[in-house]
């Protein structure tokens, strides 16, 4: 089975922030951020490209958007210093519920506070400053990563020149919050959950598996599932007390069960899943800033907004709303039957858009004015 979501691991370097203050006022005495970089940061610290992963992603950019990374590719390592960090509250190296409390030797679990998308951005902004970044050419992300990218538009240090947000939104709406809640309910229903204070050796694996199965339905579409599975069945063999009993199951059932099991095999932490989905539910560009639409209007930097035509999780209407109110924005809709996962699967189309947008940023840079990147002309025809 092809894995379209990339490997899941904690590979990378670590920066530790001390006494990091969260948006709600709580303080993390020790906050680790795992990150990876590619290319070389220039002497003025102005060629950074920040890539933001989705809900269950990590800092191993090459494993899930590797087709974009490298010399001559959209994330051109001969031009840019590319940075990708595992977000706060995830379970691939950065501090989160699965982190071990040095005082007790046990996972932090539910004692780890709720965090926000803004907290994730604040961590990365501090890490980038520590690494010598003065200006970010663009912050790019899809799904939850698109929320992180859009929130970066409000960051003043380092200076952010542009944002690319794919298949995402400016605030979580009841539809997405409801989907998150039923997934969390599956985890809570697992007897091993123990109010989030389970032992790392006895996680709520069944509940997390079901949550993942639910999510996989929202990432695709009715037509995509029909094309991929139809009503095909496969025969299974169950061993009974006396002899094997042949039975069958629909292909789609086997696929979803396999995805749920694989999620546990990768070691994703249920507590992180809960905290990350809660952070997405809190996402609202207008929270404590004023009127939501006024906040969008206040974003003056160039913003590329891309939709997937068949996305049922973050419908096109949500990206069109962003484009309507963000003054210096452009919206492109990618025609695809793949649903929300199109931001990962439609690599050629999205890569052309990003290449063209970055070419425009390069052309408009006061440091390096030159002829328009040919890819910009190509992408404009999509």
Known catalytic residues are 143, 311, 340
Backbone angles phi, psi at 117, to 5 degrees: -60, -35
CA dist list (Å): 92 to 7, 74, 118, 337: 11, 25, 19, 31
CA distance 263 to 267: 7
101 CB-near residues (< 8 Å, 6+ apart): 107, 108, 111
Rg, the chain, Cα only: 21
CA distance 380 to 365: 20
DSSP secondary structure of 339-362: GGGHHHH-HHHHHHHHHHHHHHHH
Pair of tokens at residue 298: 């206040």
Q: Is 326 helix (H, G, I), strand (E, B) or coil?
A: coil
Q: What's 77's DSSP letter?
A: T
286 CB-near residues (< 8 Å, 6+ apart): 170, 171, 292, 293, 294, 295
DSSP secondary structure of 141-153: EETHHHHHHHHHT
């Amino acid at each position: 089975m092809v894995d379209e979501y990339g490997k899941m691991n904690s590979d990378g370097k670590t920066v530790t922030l001390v006494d990091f203050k969260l948006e709600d006022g709580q303080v993390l005495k020790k906050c680790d951020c795992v990150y990876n970089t590619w290319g070389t940061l220039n002497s003025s610290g102005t060629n950074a490209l920040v890539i933001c992963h989705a809900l269950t992603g990590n800092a191993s950019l090459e494993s899930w958007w590797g087709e974009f990374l490298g010399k001559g590719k959209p994330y051109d390592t001969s031009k840019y210093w590319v940075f990708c960090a595992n977000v706060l509250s995830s379970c691939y190296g950065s501090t989160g519920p699965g982190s071990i409390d040095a005082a007790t030797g046990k996972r932090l679990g539910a004692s780890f506070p709720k965090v926000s998308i803004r907290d994730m951005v604040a961590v990365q902004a501090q890490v980038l400053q520590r690494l010598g970044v003065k200006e970010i050419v663009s912050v790019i992300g899809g799904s939850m990563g698109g929320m992180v990218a859009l929130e970066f538009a409000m960051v003043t240090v380092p200076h952010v020149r542009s944002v690319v947000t794919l298949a995402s939104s400016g605030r979580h709406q009841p539809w997405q919050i409801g989907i998150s809640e039923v997934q969390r309910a599956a985890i809570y229903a697992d007897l091993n959950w123990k109010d989030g204070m389970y032992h790392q050796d006895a996680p709520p694996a069944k509940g997390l598996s079901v949550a993942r199965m639910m999510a996989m339905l929202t990432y695709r579409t009715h037509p995509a599932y029909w094309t991929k599975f139809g009503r095909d069945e496969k025969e299974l063999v169950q061993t009974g007390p006396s002899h094997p009993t042949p039975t069958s199951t629909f292909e789609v059932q086997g696929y979803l069960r396999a995805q749920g099991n694989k999620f546990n095999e990768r070691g994703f932490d249920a507590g992180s899943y809960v905290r990350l989905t809660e952070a997405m539910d809190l996402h609202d560009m207008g929270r404590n800033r004023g009127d939501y639409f006024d906040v969008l209007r206040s974003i003056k930097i160039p913003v590329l907004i891309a939709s997937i035509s068949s996305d049922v999780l973050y419908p096109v209407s949500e990206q069109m709303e962003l484009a309507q109110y963000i003054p210096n924005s452009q919206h492109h809709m990618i025609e695809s039957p793949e649903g929300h996962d199109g931001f990962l699967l439609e690599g050629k189309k999205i890569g052309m858009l990003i290449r063209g947008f970055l070419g425009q940023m390069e052309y408009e840079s006061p440091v390096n004015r030159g002829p328009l990147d040919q890819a910009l002309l190509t992408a404009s025809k999509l």
